[in-house]
Structure 1
């Protein structure tokens, strides 16, 4: 079951767009950017947080500077598709720090897994020491990301009638 979309006015949308671009800006900077005074701006941000529209804030780390510059997309097919198998696979993925994202998908493959590694040797080590030890994997297929053309964390749909 999905949540109903939040009712957002023009100022809410401007706040969300500004925070999506720079989540570290101060409330005073945000208020100036969206054309509000600080107190009403702060109240709107708190309301958006309480409603779950703003789910959190995070730092974006530079994987290259951290020694894991390569990203690999791994498509995984499981042997079984019952609840226990899906939950077990999910738990195993949560335990692997180099796994950045895991998506249960429709189509030929069951999961799309995004992994950060240190080159082909790092990926080989990830496969041998971690992924291939996960019970229930029937098949996987990997693709190294050569270049990322777009990387955003959220989509703000247009307002109704816009």
Structure 2
């Protein structure tokens, strides 16, 4: 258990270090626009951001080099590929030492059905999101792959009935400060002489 939580703390420290990048308003605006449509043209992007094309190009290049923009991909409709079953799987290991965690993660990383995998606190050690064609395919995944990983002690599967929300766009409001959280703007003092005089 100590090894598992030590690993979690190390990852959180790395995450805090990674997200400490300071982003100015132009960078934030470009991120918002690119998250909506990464195929947007540079001229259209510059117009929407209220900046020149050269400044947008330089800023995008910087965001890519620093890893803020990791990659640009196409988001595919799973139903178009016949992948209509979403399964969330809680996995508990027999041991939570470094070797067991690494062995499980290496095996899971090679499985295309696993869309997401998280090391968790609480009762389960891992939470997986698995996308498959049907229940038969999920059964084969469990029997042929998941249960063959050494050290897997328990599985608990939950099937999604409907997808209420799905997005790949990360929130950016917290980067804008008080203006983004609905704080009222400071009231301006009226100019002298603008107040109405009382009628006598």
TM-score range, shorter chain: over 0.9
2:40 corresponds, among 19, 25, 42, to: 25
- Aligned residue in 1 for 2:198: none
- Aligned residue in 2 for 1:149: 164
2:83 corresponds, among 68, 79, 93, to: 68
- Aligned residue in 2 for 1:161: 178
Are residues 1:13 and 2:28 paired?
yes
Q: For residues 11-45 of structure 1, what are the alpha-carbon distances to aligned partners after superposition, in whole Å with 9 as ceiling and x for unaligned?
A: 21111101111111122221111111211111111
**Normalised TM-score (structure 2):** 0.76
Q: For residues 35-82 of structure 1, what are the alpha-carbon distances to aligned partners after superposition, in whole Å with 9 as ceiling and x for unaligned?
A: 112111111111111222112111112221212221111010000111
**Normalised TM-score (structure 1):** 0.93
**Structure 1 unpaired stretches of 5+:** none
Once structures 1 and 2 are overlaid, which stretch shifts more, 79-88 or 66-75? Answer: 66-75
**Structure 2 unpaired stretches of 5+:** 1-12, 180-200
Report deviation, 1:157.
4.6
Equivalences, count: 162
Bigger Rg over Cα: 2
The whole-number CA distance in structure 2 between the counterparts of 1:157 and 1:80 is: 40
- Aligned residue in 2 for 1:139: 154
Larger fraction in helix = 2
Report deviation, 1:116.
0.7
